[in-house]
Amino acid sequence: MWQRILALAIKEFQALLRDPKARVVIIVPPLIQLVVFSFAATFDLNHVPLAVYDQDRGAAAQALVARFTGSQHFSVVANIDRSGAIDAYIDNRKALMVLTISSRFTQELMSGNPAPVQLVIDGRNSNTAAIALSYANSIVQQFNTDWARDHGRPRPPSTLDVRAWFNPNLESRWFIIPGIVGLLMLVVVMVVTALSVAREREQGTFDQLLVTPLRPVEILIGKAIPGLVIGMLEATAIIIVAVFVFHIPLQGSLLTLYGGIALFLLSATGVGLMISSLAATLQQAVLGVFLFLVPAIILSGFATPIANMPPLVQDLTLINPLRYFMVILRSVFLEGSTFDDLIDTFWPLALIGLCSLAIAGWMFRHRMN
pLDDT digits (tens, 9 = 90+) for 215-261: 767 777 777 888 888 889 889 988 998 899 888 899 999 999 999 99
pLDDT at 129: 84
Instruction: For residue 325, name the pLDDT band (cuts at 50, 70, 90).
Output: very high
pLDDT at 231: 87
Question: Are the C-beta atoms of residues 261 and 238 closer than 8 Å to each other?
Answer: no
d(CA 51, CA 56): 15
Give yes or no for residue 159 having a pLDDT over 60.
Answer: no
pLDDT at 205: 64
Residue of 20 and 317 predicted with greater confidence: 317
Residue type present at position 282: L
pLDDT at 348: 94
d(CA 91, CA 65): 23
d(CA 42, CA 38): 8
Question: Are the C-beta atoms of residues 223 and 277 closer than 8 Å to each other?
Answer: no
Domain coordinates of the chain in residue numbers? 2-41+171-368, 48-150
Give yes or no for residue 369 having a pLDDT over 60.
Answer: no
The highest-level CATH class for domain 48-150 is alpha beta
3-state secondary structure the chain: CHHHHHHHHHHHHHHHHHCHHHHHHHHHHHHHHHHHHHHHCCCCCCCEEEEEEECCCCHHHHHHHHHHHCCCCEEEEEECCCHHHHHHHHHCCCCCEEEEECCCHHHHHHCCCCCCEEEEECCCCHHHHHHHHHHHHHHHHHHHHHHHHHCCCCCCCCCCCCCCCCCCCCCHHHHHHHHHHHHHHHHHHHHHHHHHHHHHHHHCCHHHHHCCCCCHHHHHHHHHHHHHHHHHHHHHHHHHHHHHCCCCCCCCCHHHHHHHHHHHHHHHHHHHHHHHHHCCCHHHHHHHHHHHHHHHHHCCCCCCCHHHCCHHHHHHHHHCHHHHHHHHHHHHHHHCCCCCCCHHHHHHHHHHHHHHHHHHHHHHHHHHC
Q: What are phi and psi of 79, to 5 degrees?
A: -110, 110
Q: What is the mean pLDDT of residues 104-126?
A: 83
Question: Are the C-beta atoms of residues 106 and 56 closer than 8 Å to each other?
Answer: yes
d(CA 90, CA 77): 12
* pLDDT tens-digit map of 54-67: 888 888 888 889 99
In degrees, rounded to 5, the angle at the alpha carbon of residue 287 between the alpha carbons of residues 284 and 289 is 110
pLDDT at 272: 87
Most confident stretch, 7-11, 38-42, 339-343: 339-343
Residue of 207 and 147 predicted with greater confidence: 147
d(CA 144, CA 109): 10
pLDDT at 357: 87
Q: What is the mean pLDDT of residues 39-47?
A: 71
Give yes or no for residue 144 having a pLDDT over 90.
Answer: no
Lowest mean pLDDT, pick from 29-33, 42-46, 205-209, 260-264: 205-209
Give yes or no for residue 42 having a pLDDT over 60.
Answer: yes
Residue type present at position 43: F
d(CA 126, CA 152): 39
Question: Are the C-beta atoms of residues 30 and 184 closer than 8 Å to each other?
Answer: yes
Question: Are the C-beta atoms of residues 167 and 174 closer than 8 Å to each other?
Answer: yes
